[in-house]
Amino acid sequence: MTETEYCARAEALKPRLYRTALLYLGGESAAVDAVDEAVYKGLLAHGRLRQEDFFSTWMGRILINVCTDELRRRKRELAVEALPETAAEEFDALPLKEAIQRLPAELRQVVVLRYFTGLTLAQTARALGIPQGTAASRQRRALALLKLELTEEETYEPNG
């Protein structure tokens, strides 16, 4: 794959990568930064991609790694001091978005890739480097937790 081909394919994939990063990181500017970094890292490594058919899965994995690194960095920063911007973003977030962000990382990855990135179960498993059965069980567990949490939120709402 040439650099020109890589750039064209990466540009076409950016909206999907952005949606994934937004769900992982919760903020628009962080999502844009993560996509930019993932595209840059992909450009540096595009010569190592063995099968071009797996380009979108490969880019998704790069993006997940970038998002995971960002979340680790945030966790270290939050240990030192609380960021008021983050609290405001969480307050304004939608219930589903909040519920997804509260899932354990391994479950959140499967949900984001399956339902917001549009990968099949097999592609999700391949992107995460796990067996397809593990991806399926994580998906079931994540959906059960989301259903439980969103159902509790509906019943908890005061009648105003």
Can you give the pLDDT at residue 54? 87
Residue pLDDT, tens place only, 53-100: 888 889 999 999 999 888 888 776 655 444 344 444 443 456 777 788
Same-domain pairing of 36 and 97? no
Same-domain pairing of 8 and 73? yes
Can you give the pLDDT at residue 154? 56
Structure tokens of 160? 């105003």
Can you give the pLDDT at residue 99? 80
Same-domain pairing of 81 and 118? no
Can you give the pLDDT at residue 83? 36
Same-domain pairing of 7 and 67? yes
End-to-end Cα spacing for the chain: 59
Please name the residues in contact with 115: beta carbons below 8 A apart, sequence gap of 6 or more. none
Where the chain has pLDDT below 50, the residues are 80-92, 160
Can you give the pLDDT at residue 158? 52
CB atoms within 10 A of CB 41: 15
Q: Which domain holds residue 70?
A: 1-92
Domain count, the chain: 2
The CATH number of the domain holding residue 115 is 1.10.10.10
Can you give the pLDDT at residue 125? 87
Same-domain pairing of 101 and 75? no
Same-domain pairing of 79 and 106? no
Radius of gyration of the chain (CA): 17
Can you give the pLDDT at residue 14? 92
Same-domain pairing of 100 and 49? no
Final residue of a domain: which of 52, 67, 92?
92
The CATH number of the domain holding residue 11 is 1.10.1740.10
Final residue of a domain: which of 70, 92, 114?
92
To the question of pTM greater than 0.75 for the whole model, the response is no
Same-domain pairing of 103 and 82? no
Final residue of a domain: which of 92, 115, 131?
92
DSSP character string of the chain: --HHHHHHHHHHHHHHHHHHHHHHH--HHHHHHHHHHHHHHHHHHGGG-S-GGGHHHHHHHHHHHHHHHHHHHHHHHHHH---HHHHHHHHHS-HHHHHHHHS-HHHHHHHIIIIIS---HHHHHHHHTS-HHHHHHHHHHHHHHHHHHHHHHHHHS---
CA distance 144 to 24: 19
